[in-house]
Amino acid sequence: MTVQELVDRLGLDPVALPHPEYEVTSGYVGDMPSWVMGNATEGCAWVTILNNRNIAAVAVLIEMACVIVTEGAGVSEEVAQVAMEQEVNLLCTEKSSFDTVARMAEFL
Amino acid sequence: MSELVKLHYDVDGNDFAAAGEASMKIKKELRNLGFPQDIIRRIAIAVYEGEINMVIHADGGTADVSVGLDEIDITLADKGPGIPDVEKAMQKGWSTASEEVRSAGFGAGMGLPNMKKNTDEMEIETEVGVGTTIHMKVYVA
């Protein structure tokens, strides 16, 4: 499934979507960057409540398909800009991490 | 070992949310040099963890990467407080990070273990009150 399809199916808010064609191959949930760095896999959709600009760095380094910021945590203008600069797909939702993952599990 | 390229980066110690600049640049350089994705990813993770540590604990530092034909050498150096008990610091989940740092999602105690996991050799030189230098090697041949 592509990131664009994920956006459409889950009704996510695409704060930055430079690569809608990226393939989502797995999912990862976590709010501690080091755990994520150690365990998330390339091509994953990362579900988190973290919303500082470090999420862009983690996404780039792991080569994630996208980051989904949940629970209405939202991101600042600055973080959205960093995501665009680093070519990171950054999506937001009001839904909880649990609900988001439960929906994703239907497709992945 | 014959060296192809040497890279040097200063890690700014002021803002832990901004950590990752050096690792992202290194990643880009290694990609331009044509290294396999897996090698690049391991190095990027190791440097990133080092950057985070330098920002959280040491007010910044330096990252040097020396690219050779057989191996890539990484040296991360800071003039921070040093590590009193390296064995403890290498344990997963052990951290001295502040509450403020933890509330931002850092300080999980996974930094040094992640660095070790992603490199083929790792050596820590540290002295309390003087600083810490970490040497890592990733074999590419």
Alpha-carbon span A80 to B41, nearest angstrom: 24
d(CA B139, CA B120): 7
How many domains does chain B fold into?
1
| pLDDT value at residue B43 | 96
pLDDT at A33: 87
Domain that residue B66 falls in: 3-139
Q: How confident is the model at residue B18 (pLDDT cuts 50, 70, 90)?
A: confident
Q: How do residues A52-81 score in pLDDT, each as one tens digit?
A: 888 999 999 999 999 999 999 999 999 999
Residue B56 is encoded by which pair of tokens?
């959280």
Contact A33/B at CB under 8 A = yes
Angle at A83 between CA A4 and CA A24, to 5 degrees: 35
What's the pLDDT band for B69 if we cut at 50, 70, 90? confident
Integer-rounded Cα radius of gyration of chain B: 14
Interchain contact, B48 vs A37, CB within 8 Å: yes
Distance from CA of A85 to the nearest CA of B (A): 12
Domains in chain A, ordered, with CATH?
Answer: 3-107 (3.40.1390.20)
Give the CATH number for residue B104.
3.30.565.10
Q: Which of A37, A42, A53 sits opposite B114 (nearest CB)?
A: A37
ipTM of the complex: 0.75
Q: Which of A23-27, B53-57, B95-99 has the highest mean pLDDT?
A: A23-27
Q: Ramachandran region of residue A47, left (φ > 0), alpha (ψ -120 to 50) or beta?
A: beta
| Cβ–Cβ below 8 Å for B52 and A42 | no
Contacts of B99 (CB under 8 A, 6+ apart): none
Which of A38-47, B1-10, B30-39 is least confident? B1-10
pLDDT at B103: 77
By C-alpha distance, the chain B residue nearest A51 is: B104
pLDDT block averages, 10 residues each, chain A of length 108: 97 98 97 88 96 92 96 96 95 98 93
Q: What is the largest CA-CA distance in chain A?
A: 33
- Contact residues, chain A, for B110 at CB < 8 Å: 32, 34-35, 37-38
Could you give the count of Cα atoms lying within 13 Å of B8 in the half-sphere of its Cβ? 1
CB neighbour list of residue B66: distance below 8 Å, 6 or more residues apart:
B3, B5, B6, B7, B72, B73, B74, B75
